[in-house]
A and B are shown apart, each in its own frame.
Chain A
Amino acid sequence: MHRVVITGMGCISALGHGAEACWQAMREGRSGIGPIAAIPTELLNVRVAAEVKDYDPLAHFDEKRLVLLDRFTQFALIAAREAVAQSGLPRAGGLGEDSAAIIGTGVGGQTTVDDSYRRLYGERVARVHPFTVPRMMANAAASHVSMEFGITGPAFAVSSACASANHAIGLAFDMVRRGQMRAAIAGGSEACITVGSLKGWEALRVLATDTCRPFCRDRRGMVLGEGAGIFVLETLETARARGAPILAELAGFGMSADAADLVLPSEAGAARAIAGALKDAGLAPERIDYINAHGTGTAANDVTETRALRRVFGDHAGRLAVSSTKAVHGHALGAAGAIELVAAVRAITDGVVPPTANFTAPDPDCDLDYVPNEARERTVGAALSNSFAFGGLNAVLALRRVE
């Protein structure tokens, strides 16, 4: 088994363009949540989201290529370019057949679906764009990443709703760890802020109408976000041999299924994924300093996640720094775990734990240290990043500092 390290990361979200901008906002607790601006809101009851701002697709893609790219694929490509550039992987001739592209997404090309259905059913135009299918398919992002970087090994999408990114990164991690792949580009992407998608979320009654306040007594629910996070994974040996930047070691991966309720989270299921990640990484619970929580801000998640952490960590739970950065970048569904891995990586490299922003007063049933509102200096030797999805699918990544 090889040790696997992250040598590059890219991110685009409501917090900014680029992993550095996103991290700075997370660290400062500066929220990217605001009134929805990019789509018409007259049919919506919930009118806040965490949208990617100041975004001009033509600054990144020429017109001819853009007609093939749904917004979620654009985000994935932008984040992948940043990650590969940071890693310094030589792109000439392509990354080749011993590299993989595995990109998680909850749904895929929702903007394309929404636009074509509005045309068809709303405007009664009996013709949709000929690239509707290749734009909307869930694997479009993985395919375009493979084409742009000449990745001719395994490339596919992974879909497990809000855990998609962590499942994708976990699978890629395993391929590199086993020596099957020399390098993998992995992460998640989602562009879910469409009228149709928002109406669906509204009807489930889990969206907040103000903002996202994870673990607080007055939390009202989640706020939808969008964006992408992409990482370059390599073995420690190859990374060292080529002098690549080593951001953190991806040390373990735990997954589980609740096999219970489709939407209500399960303490036991979450706990099994958390414990699984620790075991896989060979990390004793006491070694963990920071947890980037799933922390959606819904009534059910935050209490269940707190109990799951108490169950796994016992006495050490009180010494953990636990924060949810969804308070600032919203819930980006299939991209969530990837955007949040940026927080976990930077907590390790910078020795700073990002806060849970918008924090008012704690829910008495949420009794951990959620790092309210202010970032904290703390040496982070190891961290976990949690994702727990609708459908009862859980995926947890473990990171360790490389000395």
Chain B
Amino acid sequence: MISVQDQVYDIIAKEASIERARIAPGSTLKDLEISSLDAVQIIFAIEERFEIYMPYNNPSFDVDTVGGLVDTVERLLREKRTA
């Protein structure tokens, strides 16, 4: 089974047309020079893939870094399983 991290990396690489090797947990979307339009497409693709709703404007979730995005997805998937 492909890990959540791998799937998120794949989505970012595809939607933003960047080399997958450039992506690291500490990278921010800004570091990766991802435009705001690509960023919303990445969020949309993540939501579609995992069937979750990604929070925004919510300080209890870090969605600024790639690692934060992965953690958020994992947390939402856990919540969905226990719901």
Contact = CB atoms under 8 A, between A and B. Distances in A.
Contact of B36 (A208, A220, A263): A263
A209 interface: yes
A208 B58 CA distance: 10
Name, among A204, A205, A208, A220, the residue most crowded by chain B CB atoms within 10 Å (CB to CB): A205
Q: Is the interface of A mostly helix, strand, loop or mixed?
A: loop
Most A CB contacts (10 A, CB to CB) among B43, B44, B53, B57 go to: B57
A220 B44 CA distance: 19
A120 interface: no
**CB-based closest 6 A-B pairs:** A220-B57, A205-B56, A264-B36, A205-B40, A204-B40, A263-B36
B40 A208 contact: no
A220 B36 CA distance: 16
Contacts of B35: 261, 264
Contacts, number: 20
A21 interface: no
12 contacts: A203-B44, A204-B40, A205-B40, A205-B43, A205-B56, A208-B57, A209-B57, A220-B57, A221-B57, A261-B36, A261-B37, A263-B37
Interface of A: 45, 203-205, 208-209, 220-221, 261-264, 300
Task: Give the contact-size bracket for chain B.
Answer: under 10
Nearest to A210: B57
Contacts of B57: 208-209, 220-221
Contacts of A263: 36-37
Contacts of A205: 40, 43, 56
A246 B36 CA distance: 45
Given A205-B56, A208-B57, A221-B57, A262 B40 contact: no
Contacts of B56: 205
Interface string B23-38: 0000000000001110
